[in-house]
Amino acid sequence: MSKGEELIRRREAVVCPGVGRLSTMTAASAEGAIITDVDGRAFIDFAGGIGVMNVGHSDEAVVAAIREQAGRLQHACIHVATYEGYVALCEELVRLFPHDDRPGQTKAMLVNTGAEAVENAIKIARQATGRPAVICFTGAFHGRTLLCSTLTSKVTYKTGCGPFVPEIYRLPYPSAQPGERISEDDLVRRELVRLREAFINTISPASVAAIIIEPVQGEGGFHVLPKAYARGLRAICDEHGIMLIFDEVQTGFARTGRWAAYEHLGVLPDLSPWAKSMGGGMPISCVIGKASVMDRVIPGTVGGTYGGNPVSCAAALATIRRMEELDLNARAQRIGQVIRERFEAIAARVPDVTSVRGLGAMMAMELHERGDPSRPASETVKRVITACRENGLLIISAGQASNVIRILSPLVITDEQLARGLDILENAVVSATGSARVSVGQEA
Ligand SMILES: Cc1ncc(COP(=O)(O)O)c(C=O)c1O
């Protein structure tokens, strides 16, 4: 039995199976965009621990900051004693992500996970508006606490976990259905009308605290929010005093080629949760909001023992500094361009690839059996992912039907590693779909 098999065997004996396992991959160490398993085999990392390692594994400056802070102050609890790292990180966050055009009008708070940040954003919106209801979208993923499970769309993430939180209403995310031919203008018009109709037939806007939406859906399959829809949402929220929340947990911190994905939209949210790549792998998350909203939160109703732990704050501050030094936004744009070109070439060759989409380095391709929009190619995608792993590439799926292949590699990936990873992926897609035979036949 290999060391990896032995570790998986031990896991299965003691770890709750509800903690999902995507594969038999193990991890012993990692550096840059390479992750090494417990048997010493190296893999190109296209998963980044689900979009967490934008700054790269084991960045020297981040590791040094963690070490230094751990030796000085590991924990104090921000409710008990104010420490420099918490305040300095909030200063950085409001500098990078102002939620108001006027200076000094943005505030932040720190917690530990994406779900906790989402949960707090909703609590803040409820307190600031005095209203109960929240509107969310199909395909959404907002985490696994009970409130976040309620907001999350895909039922396999929440089966048997109900009863869910009341006063949550769901509308279709403004993306075309597979095979649907509709212009973006028509799509946006249709979905904004649907929202206005929901205010007549489903929930009064006077009861709605917040509308929460991902600027690019993560687990939902990398659908990109149309700018005109975001502008429409902003106008509707302003008209009715509703808080607009952009969930930037997966999109934030250079993944899309900007610090915030909302910068692409040209629309400011009232509140936004962030996590993942913020801490360079350490557990830390935040809610950023307009000061006028944050100042209405009742003291003692948000926070927690570990929120903004000093070691995690030091990691986040070092991560932000490194991202600036390495200009990871420019790198993300370049990586995204390379992936898009390759994915489009694969789509031209493989009829099963029905969509190539994404923003910056957050790129994905969707597969349907033989291009038939009614047959999501979930099993084919599983085969692609297995073949990639056999050939030294770690990659994960997404999408409501798990028929989307997504790339969330560290942004410090070298050109050579990226090209090699894309070669492995292309070969796997071609062979799993039987497209090699198709193109040979076509040539004949
Ligand atoms: C958009 C989005 N929101 C929230 C979450 C939940 O984050 P966490 O798993 O850290 O709780 C995720 C995680 O994938 C996410 O992608």
165-224 per-position pLDDT tens digit: 999 999 999 999 999 999 999 999 999 999 999 999 999 999 999 999 999 999 999 999
- Between the CA of 89 and the centroid of ligand 1 the distance, in Å, is 20
- Classified by CATH at the fold level, domain 73-326 comes out as Aspartate Aminotransferase; domain 2 (3.40.640)
Whether this prediction's pTM lies above 0.95 is answered by yes
439 vs 424 pLDDT, higher one = 424
DSSP code at position 59: -
**Per-residue pLDDT, 440:** 44
- Between the CA of 422 and the centroid of ligand 1 the distance, in Å, is 26
Residue 441 above 70 pLDDT? no
The minimum-distance atom of ligand 1 relative to the CA of 285 is 10
d(CA 260, CA 318): 18
CATH annotation of 3-58+327-443: 3.90.1150.10
- Between the CA of 246 and the centroid of ligand 1 the distance, in Å, is 12
**Per-residue pLDDT, 435:** 84
- Between the CA of 115 and the centroid of ligand 1 the distance, in Å, is 6
The minimum-distance atom of ligand 1 relative to the CA of 275 is 10
Residue 244 above 60 pLDDT? yes
Q: Which of 64, 141, 110 is nearest to 321 (CA)?
A: 64
Q: Where are the domains of the chain?
A: 3-58+327-443, 73-326
Q: Does any ligand 1 atom lie closer than 6 A to the CB of residue 59?
A: no
- Between the CA of 250 and the centroid of ligand 1 the distance, in Å, is 7
> Measuring CA to CA, how many Å separate 247 from each of 31, 115, 404, 410, 415?
28, 10, 21, 20, 30
Q: Does any ligand 1 atom lie closer than 6 A to the CB of residue 111?
A: no
Residue 442 above 60 pLDDT? no
Q: Does any ligand 1 atom lie closer than 6 A to the CB of residue 216?
A: no
The minimum-distance atom of ligand 1 relative to the CA of 247 is 1
**Per-residue pLDDT, 439:** 47
Q: Does any ligand 1 atom lie closer than 6 A to the CB of residue 142?
A: yes
Confidence of residue 256 (pLDDT cuts 50, 70, 90): very high
Mean pLDDT of the chain: 97
Query: pLDDT of 332-384, one tens digit each?
Result: 999 999 999 999 999 999 999 999 999 999 999 999 999 999 999 999 999 99
Q: What is the mean pLDDT of residues 264-283?
A: 98
Give the CA dihedral 355, 357, 361, 367, nearest 10 degrees: -20
d(CA 280, CA 149): 25
